[in-house]
Amino acid sequence: MGGWREFVQVKRNSKRGESPPPPPPPARPLVWVRQFEYFRRRRADPKEEKEEEVSKRILGWYPDYREMKEEELPRGLDLSFGCSFKTLNINVPIYLEWLLYRFIRLGGKVLKGYEVESLDQRPPLPSPPDLILTCLGLGSSKVEGIQDEGNMFAQRGQVVVVRAPWVEPIPTPLPDSSGSSPSSREIRAVGDGTLICGGTRIKDDWDPNVRPETTREILRRCLQIYPQLLPPEKRSILPHPPSSSTISDQVEHVDVQAVQVGLRPSRKGGVRFELELSPPHQVKVVHNYGYGGFGYQASWGAAEGALELIERSLSSLKGAAEAEDVTPK
Ligand SMILES: Cc1cc2nc3c(=O)[nH]c(=O)nc-3n(C[C@H](O)[C@H](O)[C@H](O)COP(=O)(O)OP(=O)(O)OC[C@H]3O[C@@H](n4cnc5c(N)ncnc54)[C@H](O)[C@@H]3O)c2cc1C
C-alpha cells in the first residue's frame, strides 16, 4: 500500500503547488474517479477462481468500496459480481512530464537519445557511476551485461482515445473472460473530456502498428456496454437494448481522437528486482524491470524498494572506502 499512499500524496501536493505548475484545466495528471469492476460467471477452473478471489480482495482495499446488488449489475452479460470504489486514474503523458520536471528540479540529468548497448559502456558524465539502476523494460534483454536473454516478452495493447466530454468521469471496465482476448472491454476516464477505450492484451505480439480491425472491435464492444460514448443526438436512435448490428453501424459516429499501441514489458518469472555485481569491473547494479501491465501501479513502491537497495549498497561501498583510507600504507 506504500505506492497507493504516494499517489494520494502526489495528488494532494499538486493542489498545494509543491509540484510543477498544473496544466491548464481540464487536463490533470491524476483524477479521482468512481470505478466499476465486473466479473463474469466462471467456467469451473480452480486456478482462475483463486485469482479472481485475490482480485476481489484487493479491490476491497480501495476507498468507498461497495459491492453491487444483483439487480444493479448490467443485464445480458452473464455477470456474477460487481463492485464500485474510488480510485485515481492517470493521464499518462501529463503525469510523465510532471515526473520529469520533478526529477530535473531535484538535480537529475537526462541524456536524450542515448542508447545503452552494454553495462560496461560509460555514459558521457563527469565521473564514473557508483551504481547503475536498470529499468529498461523490453530493452533489458538486449543490453549486454544484464544477462537476462530470452526472458522478456511483449504483451501488445491497443487503445482508442475517444472524446466524449458529456460523459461524467466514470469508467466502466469490464474484463473479458479470457486474459488473452484480442479485445477486452474497458473504458477509463482521464478527466479532460477523453476516455481510453480498450486495452487489448496479446502475449508475445511485438507489432507496434495500429490494427484498424482491432480499433473497430474495441469500439463495438465498448459501445455495447456504454452507448454514452456516442454524442447524445446519435444515441437517441439506438434501440434499447442495442443489437449487435446497430452497434456496428454506430461505431463511425464515435469521436476518435487517437489510436495507440503499447508493448507491456513482461518477464518470464515476474519482476527482476535485485542487486548484483556486474563483471568485468564489478560495478554495483540494481535491476528493477519486468512490470508488464502494472508498471504505473507498482511504480512508487518499486522506486522506494530500489532506493532502499541503492542506499544500502552505497553505504557499504562508503564503509569499505573509509576502511581502506585508514589502513596504514
Ligand atoms: C495498453 C496498455 C495499458 C496499460 N495499462 C496500465 C495500467 O492500467 N496500470 C499500470 O500500472 N500499467 C499499465 N500499463 C503498463 C505500463 O505501461 C508498464 O508497466 C510501464 O510502462 C513499465 O514501465 P518501465 O519503466 O518498467 O518500462 P518502460 O515504460 O517500457 O520504459 C523503459 C524505457 O527504457 C528505454 N530503453 C530501453 N532500452 C534502452 C537502451 N538500450 N538505452 C536507452 N534507453 C532504453 C525505453 O526507451 C523506455 O523509455 C499499460 C500498458 C499498455 C501498453
Q: Which residue's CA is minimally distant from atom 23 of ligand 1?
A: 295
Q: How far is the CA of 16 from the centre of ligand 1 (A)?
A: 29
Q: Is the CB of 265 under 6 A from ligand 1?
A: yes
**What does the pLDDT look like over 143-185, one tens digit per residue?**
999 989 899 999 999 999 999 988 765 545 554 433 444 444 5
**For 210-240, what is the HEC assignment?**
CCHHHHHHHHHHHHHHCHHHCCHHHHCCCCC
Tell me the average pLDDT across 131-154. 93
Length of the chain: 329
Q: Is the CB of 294 under 6 A from ligand 1?
A: yes
Domains, in order of start, for the chain: 1-29+93-110 (no CATH), 30-90 (no CATH), 116-151+268-320 (3.40.50.720), 152-267 (3.30.9.10)
Tell me the average pLDDT across 43-48. 74
- Stretch among 33-47, 167-181, 237-251, 278-292 having the lowest mean pLDDT: 167-181
pLDDT at 182: 40
**What does the pLDDT look like over 298-318, one tens digit per residue?**
999 999 999 999 999 888 766
536524450: which residue's cell?
A: 112
**Ligand 1 pocket mutation pick from 6, 89, 136, 206 by most atoms within 8 angstroms of CB:** 136
Residue 329 pLDDT > 50:
no
pLDDT at 181: 43
CA atoms within 13 A on the CB side of 46: 0
Q: Is the CB of 262 under 6 A from ligand 1?
A: yes
Q: How far is the CA of 103 from the centre of ligand 1 (A)?
A: 18
Q: What is the distance between the alpha carbons of residues 36 and 52, in angstroms, rounded to a whole number?
A: 15
Pick 243 or 50 by higher pLDDT.
50
Q: Is the CB of 143 under 6 A from ligand 1?
A: yes
Residue 136 CB neighbours (<10 A): 17
Alpha-helical segments (H) within 79-211 = 92-105
Question: What is the pLDDT of the chain when averaged over all its residues?
Answer: 82
pLDDT at 183: 43
Parallel, antiparallel, or unpaired for β 187-189 and 194-198?
antiparallel
**Distances, alpha carbon 213 to alpha carbons 9, 186, 218, 228, in Å:** 41, 17, 9, 22
Q: Is the CB of 139 under 6 A from ligand 1?
A: yes
Pick 40 or 107 by higher pLDDT.
107
Percent of the chain's residues with pLDDT above 70: 81
Percent of the chain's residues with pLDDT above 90: 37
Q: Is the CB of 157 under 6 A from ligand 1?
A: yes
**What does the pLDDT look like over 203-226, one tens digit per residue?**
999 999 999 999 999 998 888 778
pLDDT at 221: 81
Instruction: Give the 3-state secondary structure of residue 247.
Output: helix
Q: How far is the CA of 237 from the centre of ligand 1 (A)?
A: 41
28, 191 in Cβ contact below 8 A? yes
Q: Is the CB of 61 under 6 A from ligand 1?
A: no
Q: Is the CB of 242 under 6 A from ligand 1?
A: no
